[in-house]
């Protein structure tokens, strides 16, 4: 999710609390451009269900927030925000127990083999990860907005790569990320990809996710990894998702229903939806909760927990309706045993005002149950 997307959405913790330091330089990829066949997928014919560690980590994610429009912009700051110590301090002090960190790794890596991630960018992301981990929160570190992977048009400021290397580059990027962060403690969680869609829909994503997970497991045998379904992490596509044969996994969905309320006036939706839509009557509540019921049923059958990685209402909606939406969504998710991360901290959906350096108190209270 971000305010630049042109395609609308379809819809224990283990005891260790410290984190070890990592390398200070980026980990290079392989020296020759490999064929995707060099990265065979992990089998996905007999997923065992979640381990106790995965279940505990899903619970520990709790009530979280996305640091959106920061690292997933083509370059940090291009969409108006950079990660600041103030954001880290305020988010964690407010009571959020997790931070999802969307990152556009694809625009900070070589276009040709070995696809090496820029060392300065890797160090910058790691500095934020480490500051968050030092605050005691769970950090969900993902790959976000690799536009070519989904077959989307590129964003302004985004560089393209040869079509034939897009998929293998995704896997090699994860090999580097996983290697770099392998020393961090168990509160660091990897999320393979945000909202796969387009050319990834259906079986292509099942296969690519299984390839990426196999390379992650080379260096992070027990790291908890989040995998979501296609059609922009739609709960309706959970039926198509094949979890690899791995117990240390959490599933994720995103839920922006009712879309005409949550995205009214959003400039990146075409056509722009009319404003003035209020929330939340009984029909809207039913629309909000339907995907959660689908996800809950899937979770019980598949024996993996579900984490709602994104939900929220854009600032063009009236404040009273936004408060009601957040409160009802929080209650609906938590009554179904789902942790969540709100979209997002300080931009168009933001719970925090970066100009005044204060929270939008009504939003904060509706999210944290005050």
**CA–CA separation, 170 and 211 (whole Å):** 10
98: domain CATH number is: 3.20.20.80
Q: Is 267 a catalytic residue?
A: no
**Percent with pLDDT over 70 in the chain:** 91
Q: Give the residues across from 240 on adjacent strands.
A: none
241-272 burial, b if ≥16 CB within 10 A, otherwise e? bbbbebbbbbbbbbbbbbbebbbbbbeebeee
Q: In total, how many domains does the chain have?
A: 1
- Once rounded to an integer, what is the mean pLDDT over residues 61-66? 98
Q: Exposed, middle or buried by CB within 10 Å (0-12, 13-18, 19+), for 116? A: buried
> Looking at the domain assignment, is residue 25 inside a domain?
no
User: Could you give the 3-state DSSP secondary structure of residue 14?
Assistant: coil
| Residue appearing with tokens 């350096």 | 357
> Looking at the domain assignment, is residue 17 inside a domain?
no
Is the pLDDT at 18 greater than 90? The verdict is no
The parent domain of residue 155 ranges over 48-368
244-257 tens-digit pLDDT: 999 999 999 999 99
Q: Is 287 a catalytic residue?
A: no
Strand 352-353 and strand 358-359: the pairing is antiparallel
Which of the residues 72, 158, 310, 344 is marked catalytic? 310
* pLDDT of res. 9: 34
- Residue 260 gets the label, from left (phi > 0), alpha (psi -120 to 50) or beta, of alpha
Which of the residues 191, 195, 287, 344 is marked catalytic? 195
The mean pLDDT of the chain is 92
DSSP label at 242?
A: -
The tokens of 3 are what?
């305010």
130-160 burial, b if ≥16 CB within 10 A, otherwise e? bbbbebebbbbbbbbbbbbbbebeebeebee
């Amino acid at each position: 999710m971000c305010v630049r997307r042109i395609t609308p959405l379809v819809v224990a913790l283990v005891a260790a609390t410290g984190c070890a330091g990592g390398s200070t330089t980026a980990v290079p990829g392989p020296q020759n451009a490999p064929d995707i066949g060099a990265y065979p997928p992990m089998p996905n014919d007999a997923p065992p269900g979640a381990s106790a560690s995965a279940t505990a980590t899903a619970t520990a994610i709790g009530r979280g927030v996305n640091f959106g429009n920061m690292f997933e912009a083509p370059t940090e700051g291009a969409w108006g925000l950079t990660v600041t110590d103030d954001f880290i301090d305020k988010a964690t002090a407010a009571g959020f127990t997790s931070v999802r960190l969307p990152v556009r790794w694809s625009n900070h890596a070589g276009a040709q083999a070995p696809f090496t991630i820029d060392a300065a960018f890797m160090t910058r992301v790691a500095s934020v990860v480490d500051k968050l981990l030092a605050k005691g929160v769970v950090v969900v570190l993902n790959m976000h907005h690799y536009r070519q992977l989904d077959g989307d048009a590129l964003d302004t400021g985004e560089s393209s790569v040869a079509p034939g290397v897009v998929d293998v580059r995704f896997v090699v990027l994860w090999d580097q990320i996983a290697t770099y962060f392998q020393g961090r403690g168990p509160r660091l969680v990897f999320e393979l990809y945000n909202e796969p869609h387009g050319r990834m829909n259906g079986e292509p994503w099942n296969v690519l996710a299984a390839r990426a997970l196999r390379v992650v497991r080379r260096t992070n045998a027990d790291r908890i990894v989040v995998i979501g379904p296609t059609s922009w992490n739609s709960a309706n596509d959970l039926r198509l998702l094949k979890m690899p044969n791995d117990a240390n996994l959490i599933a994720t969905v995103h839920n922006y229903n009712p879309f005409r309320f949550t995205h009214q006036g959003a400039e990146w939706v075409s056509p722009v939806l009319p404003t003035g839509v209020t929330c939340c009557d009984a029909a809207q509540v039913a629309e909000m909760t339907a995907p959660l019921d689908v996800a809950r049923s899937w979770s019980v059958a598949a024996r993996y927990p579900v984490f709602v990685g994104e939900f929220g209402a854009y600032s063009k909606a009236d404040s009273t309706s936004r408060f009601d939406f957040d409160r009802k969504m929080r209650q609906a998710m938590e009554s179904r045993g789902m942790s969540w991360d709100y979209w997002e901290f300080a931009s168009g959906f933001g719970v925090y005002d970066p100009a005044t350096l204060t929270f939008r108190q009504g939003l904060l209270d509706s999210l944290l149950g005050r």
